[in-house]
Amino acid sequence: MNADRSVDVEHPVFVGEPTQTHEPRVHAAWLPPEAFRSLGARRVLVHGEGLLVDTVLDEVSRACARYGGRVWHSPSWNVDVDLVLALRAAGELPNPAVEAARSAGEAALGDGEPLGDEGFLLARDGDVTVVLADAPGGLLYGLFHVVRLCAAAFDPTRPPERHRPASRRRMLNHWDNVAVHPVMGQVERGYAGGSIFWRDGCARGDLARVRAYGRLLAASGVNAISVNNVNVARTEALLLTDRLGDVADIADVLRPYGIRVHLSVSFAAPVLLGGLPTADPHDEAVRDWWAAATRRVYDRIGDFGGYLVKADSEGQPGPFTYGRDHADGANLLAEALAPHGGVVHWRAFVYDHHQDWRDRSTDRARAAYDHFTPLDGKFRTNVVLQVKYGPVDFQTREPVSPVLAAMPATRVALEVQVTQEYTGQQRHICHLGPWWGEVLRFAPWGPGGRTIAEMAVGEAGSGGGLVAVANTGDDPFWTGHPLAQANLYTFGRLAWDPRLDPTAVLDEWMTLTFPPSATAEPELVRRTLHEIMDDSWRTYERYTAPLGVGFMVHPGDHYGPDVDGYEYSRWGTYHFADRDGVGVDRSRASGTGFAGQYPPYWAQVYESPRTCPDELLLFFHHVPYSHVLHNGSTVIQHIYDTHFAGVEETETMRRRWRTLNGMIDPTVYERVAERLDEQVRCATEWRDQVNTYFFRKSGVPDARGRRIY
């Protein structure tokens, strides 16, 4: 064991570099120094060794230096402390109080169940709070739990608790390009400035920012990150070989926060980079090439996470070129990664993007199921099939993808989109937690059955977990809209535990981001933020595309309304509005048959407009404007009412936000205020275009005589 590294406030132990979150230039998000006040005012003993324990020590030391506490590093056993963060395996536990807390905690929790690499136990004994873990990762997550709890972590009556992440991997995908893409820019579907990793064809080199990002992610629960776009162009393909050093540099700064790096790779890499004539997964030379390339990656980055692949999709190369299926493709890469413990995330987002709008028999919503379910059971165990939450494409409302329930012999991950491509692009407030909560609670076999959350987690965490497309960039607020930080935080927390209540998570985020001790009128601020954010996804839904029909967005940039923007395009996203009605018939009886991809309970519910839930009616059925919804309104009147209501709600949001002027940081206030003006403007445009379109199509006036153009 090391010599005593007792630390006092004058001489804190800094194991890492100071991060930029302490500089005014970059917003501290959910880790402002003030969030550490409760911890930092205490006497803390950190017991154990290892890179991540050093991170814990560094965090605690900085907090104590700021708020007057003290830190000791083991083996300083005979000190009076308020908090002990200890590795159970690090020899004898520091003192009798810790030992007692451990026994009390374990007894109360019923056993000495293993905590795994990332789990921890929190228990009290007398005046001491003890966090115990079996591995350094657990201690790091335990530390951030204490930060989240603030003073409650030191409540003498707090019962013992055990925490373990539901899934081993909790992953963010960055759609960042190394070279600026002529259409998509530096970050595809990025609404928060440039990339924190890449700029104009090169690595940015500003690793302090990346490190600060890792810290934020660790505090939310994320532990894996892919650093380049799933659309892999030539420059990005080189990250696997010639530019691997750039990836290794990122891995080095994220490692102290327990985050592993993954790479999006091109399926055609053996041709593009290796000069082979083919990328056929059955070709021996191709397999050797992947094995050798992967070995070189692990020689450089020992804890490399694995590959992410978008194949045969929207122009990306894939196994179809060689007459092979996606199990052949995924297994090729999985075989190369297996000896090193790596994993392939293989995306199920495969569909025909050259569809003819005249062809009513092809349905994009069916594609992933049709391609992938015949392959169930054929994937290697280190393949995770990554499935978007809905069958089409990250719309504000879609039914949950039937693929998630249809592949019991495959590890399936749920993919959500934190970047708000179709949900207001971080110019609109649209808190997505409630939407993800609905998806996670969906029970594909019917009410009371297993949920999507349970399937993603799998038996004892063996499922694919949750993956999200990141919403971060080099914007000073990280996410463009300061309140969009809540979506990123919520994703991390739900990935850690998909059973969490998204509104409670939002509350947690508020407490960290706007710490009550540093906020005038904290209760008023909290209440107002809840009023603005809690229902903001439904507000967004009200003023955009109605009743689940989706895709009435402006083509290309996907921002703002364009009702017929995709109606005659090749992308397979149509609404079929005519003078009599609107919606897509996806029933088995008369439509594309998509409804039949669900297990019997939902297949039956979705099959008929009589039973289909209102919010998905137009996704599954083409109905007359006079069709009466379960809520008693006609379709046309519902369209008018929701669009008027949605705009009024954005005006109310703006009014409420203005009441916070002077109570919160002025730069945050101004940025949000400015974006709310844009949200109201854009929502008004949505309302007027959608209402006018349907009024002109149907000729049915608004029953309440409001202005339609």
Residues that bind ligand GCV (CB under 6 A): 175, 188-189, 230-231, 310, 349, 393, 421
Task: Spell out the residues 6+ positions from residue 289 whose beta carbon is closer than 8 angstroms to its own.
Answer: 269, 270, 274, 276
Residue 305 CB, nearest distance to ligand GCV (Å)? 19
Report residue 592: phi and psi, to 5°: -80, -10
Pick the closer one to ligand GCV by CB: 417 or 691: 417
The C-alpha atoms of residue 649 and residue 683 are separated, in whole angstroms, by 10
82 burial level (CB within 10 Å; 0-12, 13-18, 19+): middle
- 494-517 burial by CB neighbour count: b if 16+ within 10 A, else e? bbbbbebebbebbebbbbbbbbee
Six-digit token pair at 93? Answer: 């536990």
Residue 189 CB, nearest distance to ligand GCV (Å)? 5
Pick the closer one to ligand GCV by CB: 188 or 246: 188
Pick the closer one to ligand GCV by CB: 188 or 541: 188
Residue 428: closest CA among 171, 685, 127, 157:
685
Residue 28 CB, nearest distance to ligand GCV (Å)? 30
Note whether 220 and 170 are within 8 A (CB): no
Place of tokens 């005979």: 78
Place of tokens 């669900």: 598
Count of helix runs (H) and strand runs (E) in the chain: 22, 20
Pick the closer one to ligand GCV by CB: 236 or 421: 421
Pick the closer one to ligand GCV by CB: 197 or 514: 197
Q: Which own/partner pairs from 369-376 qualify as long-range (CB within 8 Å, at least 24 positions apart)?
A: 369/401, 369/402, 369/403, 369/406, 369/597, 371/326, 372/326, 372/348, 372/403, 372/407, 373/403, 373/406, 373/407, 375/325, 375/326, 375/327, 375/410, 376/406, 376/407, 376/408, 376/409, 376/410
Place of tokens 């083996």: 75
Q: Which of 314, 359, 580, 674 is catalytic?
A: 314
Residue 50 CB, nearest distance to ligand GCV (Å)? 37
Residue 249 CB, nearest distance to ligand GCV (Å)? 24
Report residue 478: phi and psi, to 5°: 75, -40
The C-alpha atoms of residue 461 and residue 459 are separated, in whole angstroms, by 5
The C-alpha atoms of residue 363 and residue 355 are separated, in whole angstroms, by 9
Q: What is the CA radius of gyration of the chain?
A: 26
Six-digit token pair at 456? Answer: 């993603």
H or E element, residue 523:
helix 522-533
Pick the closer one to ligand GCV by CB: 97 or 187: 187
Provide the 10 A C-beta neighbour count for residue 156: 10
**DSSP-based three-state secondary structure for 288:** helix
Clarify whether 531 is annotated catalytic.
no
For residue 374, is the peptide bond before it cis, meaning its omega torsion is within 30 degrees of 0?
no
Q: In whole angstroms, what separates CA 341 from the centre of its chain?
A: 24
Q: Which of 134, 421, 475, 615 is catalytic?
A: 421
Residue 619 CB, nearest distance to ligand GCV (Å)? 18
**C-alpha distances in Å from residue 665, one per residue of 94, 672, 673:** 42, 11, 12
Angle between helices 284-300 and 326-337 (to 10 degrees): 40
Note whether 221 and 492 are within 8 A (CB): yes
Pick the closer one to ligand GCV by CB: 125 or 393: 393
Residue 216: closest CA among 533, 512, 529, 517:
512
The C-alpha atoms of residue 708 and residue 687 are separated, in whole angstroms, by 9
Report residue 466: phi and psi, to 5°: -110, 140
Residue 404 CB, nearest distance to ligand GCV (Å)? 16
Clarify whether 421 is annotated catalytic.
yes
Clarify whether 393 is annotated catalytic.
yes
Pick the closer one to ligand GCV by CB: 74 or 426: 426
Give the up-direction half-sphere exposure of residue 286: CA atoms within 13 A in the CB hemisphere.
20
**C-alpha distances in Å from residue 319, one per residue of 230, 252, 278, 403:** 16, 33, 11, 20
The 8-class DSSP code of residue 48 comes to -
Six-digit token pair at 294? Answer: 């992967």
Residue 98 CB, nearest distance to ligand GCV (Å)? 48
Q: Annotated active-site positions, please?
A: 314, 393, 421
